Amino acid sequence: MHCVLSSKQVCHFEHSQCVTPWILHASCCGFATQYDIRGDILVDVGSGPTLYQVMSGCERFDRVILSDFLEVNRKVLQSWLQEGKSSIDWTAYFKYVCELEGRR
């Protein structure tokens, strides 16, 4: 399984040097399978233009706040949130996280 991050970036989930699966496994363990972390508000400081890092937490918190220093990154996130548009197709990430959490 792989997904295209942009015209030049490709994330290979199965590649041993790809850090994204490690992050998804770690957040899945923390939020879901191992520690069952829940709460009112999840604040992600320095989100960049990405949201994969909070996918495992998004149903365990009432509100998720993504933040970034750079306006360009906040605009990418706002475009996805408000208009459903994104230069990144998150489908493969959501599927991967669902599989990690034993959901389909």
Ligand X SMILES: C[S@@+](CC[C@H](N)C(=O)[O-])C[C@H]1O[C@@H](n2cnc3c(N)ncnc32)[C@H](O)[C@@H]1O
* Residue ranges binding ligand X (CB under 6 A): 45-48, 50, 53, 67-70, 73
For residue 31, the minimal CB distance to ligand X (Å) is 15
Nearer to ligand X, 71 or 104 (CB): 71
Can you point out the beta strands (E) in 1-104?
2-4, 10-12, 39-44, 61-66
Q: What is the token pair recorded at 20?
A: 């994204």
Nearer to ligand X, 23 or 37 (CB): 23
Q: Cα–Cα distance between 103 and 57 in angstroms, integer? A: 14
Nearer to ligand X, 32 or 52 (CB): 52
For residue 19, the minimal CB distance to ligand X (Å) is 9
Tokens 């959901």 belong to: 103
CA atoms within 13 A on the CB side of 55: 23
For residue 47, the minimal CB distance to ligand X (Å) is 5
